[in-house]
Amino acid sequence: MSDVHDLSYYAKCMMGGILSCGLTHTAVVPLDIIKCRRQVDSKIYKSLGDGFKTVRAAEGMRGLTVGWVPTFIGYSAQGFGKFGFYEIFKDVYKKIVGEENAAKYQTTGFLVASACAEFIADILLCPWESLKVRTQVDMTGKFPRNPVAGFNLIKAKEGTNGFYKGLSPLWFRQIPYTMVKFACFERTVRYVYANWLTKDPSEYSKATKLTVTFLSGYWAGIFCAVVSHPADTIVSKLNSSKSEGSTFAKIGEIMGELGFMGVWRGLATRIIMIGTLTGLQWWIYDTFKTLTGLQTTGAVSKKK
């Protein structure tokens, strides 16, 4: 089956992106809490397991759900922009360079389309990411955990800058992450169908194609975590407290404070989180696509 790339197609991709990113990021909030706190203060927990144990002892299971509301809203908005505009920009790229060149420089198309889509997606995500991090890393009780109260507090004390001061490092984190996520995934899926599952994709069951989707997504997620981790540490540190002056000056201070090894703190936890998250995102996205009559991503028919 060949998907017709009309408004209905893009709308389905956008809805799939909302479900994909919103649900998965919310599901890994417990991991995210420990990761963010360890990035801000390396001595707070000895390990991931110690973090879970400490939080559960102090606050119960509810303590492992802190920040889930801004996480769900923010990453649903990001998924809308990330997946939906990725499909749009792929078609724009194809029209600009032509069918022949688009096929010849396919990976370049994946990289350009995903970078452009993520630029838009991060503008949608940034205010909610700021609120999420501020909520999760506060251990003093000074910052409200109610999302409405927290949103209003940032707005009253810092204005728009309070929500968007992390946009530059967010772009620095998310754009390389998404370029790797989409290009690595697309190339892996195509490699699988070219070398291992060599029949036409239409001859395989949905379960088989969705398994390819998940495993390719998990593989891509490992590389995503490594590429984006230093910027993720800086975003967590930057959003952890109120800051004055230039964002770039503050980033310089943070990098000087953490040092080279410091920006890699929490990488193992993030690899587990991002690998699982990325695999599930692609699986949810492609599952939604198949339920709405579309084919899975990258499963290009070999029939002419």
- What pLDDT, in 10s, does the model give residues 60-81? 999 999 999 999 999 999 999 9
Q: Mean per-residue pLDDT for 198-219? A: 95
Q: How far apart are CA 64 and CA 191, in angstroms?
A: 39
Q: What are the CB-based long-range contacts (under 8 Å, 24+) for 255-259?
A: 258/233
Q: What is the pTM of this model?
A: 0.86
Q: How far apart are CA 154 and CA 226, in angstroms?
A: 31
Give the pLDDT score at 253. 81
Q: Name which of 68-77, 162-171, 198-207, 257-266 the model is least confident about.
A: 257-266
The structure tokens listed for 148 are 């409405």
* Phi and psi based region of residue 293 (left: phi greater than 0; alpha: psi -120 to 50; beta: remaining): left
The CA-atom distances, in angstroms, between 81 and each of 11, 224, 243 are 11, 18, 28
Four-residue CA torsion sign, 82, 281, 28, 216: negative
Q: Is the pLDDT of residue 2 over 60?
A: no
Which residue blocks in 159-246 are alpha helix, DSSP H? 160-164, 167-195, 206-239
CATH superfamily of 7-291: Mitochondrial carrier domain (1.50.40.10)
Q: How far apart are CA 85 and CA 175, in angstroms?
A: 13
Give the pLDDT score at 228. 83
Q: Mean per-residue pLDDT for 190-201? A: 94
> Tokens 């997504």 map to which residue?
217
**How do residues 85-109 score in pLDDT, each as one tens digit?**
999 999 999 999 999 999 999 999 9
pLDDT band (50, 70, 90) for residue 245: low
Q: How far apart are CA 213 and CA 281, in angstroms?
A: 10
Give the pLDDT score at 58. 92
Cα atoms in the Cβ-side hemisphere of radius 13 Å centred on 188: 22
pLDDT averaged over the chain? 91
303, with CB counted inside 10 A (0-12, 13-18, 19+), is exposed
Q: How far apart are CA 159 and CA 145, in angstroms?
A: 19
Give the pLDDT score at 237. 79
